[in-house]
Amino acid sequence: MITEKDFGKWLEDLLDLYGYRWVHFRPARVMRKGKDTYETAYTGYKGFPDYVVCHPELKRLIFIELKSDKGKVSDEQYDWLESLGKSGGEVYIWRPSDRDNIEGILQRKE
């Protein structure tokens, strides 16, 4: 089974191959109340997608939430994806089992 981290690396390599610009905010390791945990610094609403991707020549703006094949999408993540889609972005929830489909989507020249 592929981990979400390995899946993200696969996606990043594919995005680079097809000439996309992308960003993924990785959580930082911090100590909270004596416990080692991971947090991503932000302000605003919870649940922002994992990746923001663009291809200016193809005029594509894509928001991607990555999950493992068994990972759950939170209500906050669904809300963000719905809002971004209604605002004109392409939105996707991708899992390792979607890899063949993902490559086809990224190759499209819309």
**Per-residue pLDDT tens over the stretch 19-64:** 999 999 877 777 788 888 777 777 899 999 999 999 999 999 999 9
> Which pLDDT score, from 0 to 100, does residue 3 have?
84
For the cut 80, the answer to whether the pLDDT of residue 75 exceeds it is yes
In this structure, what token pair is assigned to residue 70?
A: 């068994």
Percent of the chain with pLDDT over 70: 99
Helices then strands, counting H and E runs in the chain, come out as: 3, 6
> Which pLDDT score, from 0 to 100, does residue 110 have?
62
* Rounded-to-integer distance, Cα 95 and Cα 73, Å: 11
The CATH code for residues 4-107 is 3.40.1350.10
